[in-house]
Structure 1
């Protein structure tokens, strides 16, 4: 694992101007945030060892290095999913690579289905905790102590200080930022209404097919993590409509501006933190 991380890092550093401080992973339909990045260097995933291209529509498959309000960032425009046939090691390699580049904090974003009945389509949600319902964990197998500990603590999987920053920025912007628990499922099918009722009983507020493995890997490597879910649809059984990926991408575009504003100002504040 450490060897693959080092090879990926070396390839990126050859094109990198400055060391990034904040990493960002953009979820389905949220890639337009990159328009807010200045002094961009764009690197295709094809040009990074062990990455390869994404296969899901809405995930461009490129790394963007640059600045946001003067803060050096490394932004993954698109991610890998376990349901694509990737191994868990491959799914979290981009996050591990960002850690290898020297980031101190990472913001994980996703398009999610709303489970909490007080949520509505178009809400932005600060992830306060997660439930791993994927039946998999990226740390299964021999542990590389040079990467992280065998048994990392997940009590504060989503860093309280970073979550406070998101909420403070949202308040200053007049944005009604919800908070909630994200449950990660394997996919690629959307959930059944019965599964959504079960997840609500378990305490989940939104559901998706990503983020959870990345959060685990980031904590394993000692990064501060925060997350934003964009509720692009209400989950199965809540509304009398079928779920389609095209509709989710369309809804993500509708909330792009407030998502970008929240992310830009949050990056500026997170960039001021010392490790």
Structure 2
């Protein structure tokens, strides 16, 4: 997708949404597979199915609601994307990140991303909420910034040295600790999927320093940084990626994510309520 196409898709989506939900939002939350309880904690909710947003893609993966929820948490205006898009669904990286572009146009300054991930580090347990401190981008060579001829969305050469905002990252850790949630922190790696990792790939990721692995989030983090947003991210550990033989399915991942869903909702709600804008 070139700059003109991307700008057109974002523009028609934003124009449609302004008429339905207004603008001047502060936070955006992107929910991963099987994660939905956060939506129930939002006040004054307006739900817009993705299929009703012109120029917007649609999530095809089980466990993703495929709707935008606008509302508030603790007096802060929040856009929640309940259902994300993945490279493995056939979308290019620019299309995957359209929700972040839309959030930018609607005024968002802080983005909170979530995902379901496999735990690589031995210290991680099923249901842990791992605050992402850094990442390894092994997802695809197709950067969401590739091919953008102009800088209408921001600088093409984005500094990713502190991709995860230190203040937001610390807030996630502090709120989780105070509320006695099962917290961890570490490095997230993303591969393209949809197949799960081989034993050799898991060993490689461990050597490279990854603590958890998934199939999403990094393209959105790149674009959010380009947009000048403060970024925080959390992986829900839904399976343990070991180099021994194990049975694993998407349904198992969803089941574990749903068990941890309330913990994640409490964490995100607490961070938004306590964040100074």
TM-score bracket relative to the smaller structure = over 0.9
Structure 1 residue 3, shift from structure 2 partner: 2.6
Structure 1 residue 115, shift from structure 2 partner: 0.6
1:236·1:243 contact (CA, 8 Å) conserved in 2?
no
Which residue among 120, 128, 145 is the counterpart of 1:115? 120
Distance, in Å, in 2 between the alignment partners of 1:84 and 1:171 is 36
Distance, in Å, in 1 between the alignment partners of 2:23 and 2:153 is 23
User: For 1:216, what is the secondary structure of its paired residue?
Assistant: helix
Alignment of 1:32 with 2:37, yes or no, is: yes
**Aligned residues: CA RMSD:** 1.2
Spell out the pairing of 1:40-189 with structure 2 (5 A cutoff).
40-136=45-141, 137-189=143-195
> Where does residue 205 of structure 1 map in the other structure?
211
Structure 1 residue 175, shift from structure 2 partner: 2.3
Which residue among 258, 266, 274 is the counterpart of 2:263? 258
1:64-107 deviation per Cα after TM superposition (whole angstroms, max 9, x unaligned): 00011221100000001011011111100111111111000000
> Where does residue 222 of structure 1 map in the other structure?
228
Distance, in Å, in 2 between the alignment partners of 1:241 and 1:69 is 43
Alignment of 1:21 with 2:40, yes or no, is: no
User: For 1:131, what is the secondary structure of its paired residue?
Assistant: strand
1:236·1:242 contact (CA, 8 Å) conserved in 2?
no
Distance, in Å, in 2 between the alignment partners of 1:139 and 1:133 is 16
1:40-60 deviation per Cα after TM superposition (whole angstroms, max 9, x unaligned): 000011111221321100011
Question: TM-score, structure 2 length as denominator?
Answer: 0.95
Alignment of 1:192 with 2:198, yes or no, is: yes
1:24·1:108 contact (CA, 8 Å) conserved in 2?
yes
> Where does residue 3 of structure 2 map in the other structure?
none
Question: TM-score, structure 1 length as denominator?
Answer: 0.95
Q: What is the number of equivalent residue pairs in this alignment?
A: 271
Pair 1:219–1:7, CA change in 2 (3 A): same
2:38·2:266 contact (CA, 8 Å) conserved in 1?
no
2:120·2:212 contact (CA, 8 Å) conserved in 1?
yes
Distance, in Å, in 2 between the alignment partners of 1:99 and 1:269 is 22
> Where does residue 231 of structure 1 map in the other structure?
237
Structure 2 unaligned runs (5+)? Answer: 1-5
Distance, in Å, in 1 between the alignment partners of 2:42 and 2:190 is 29
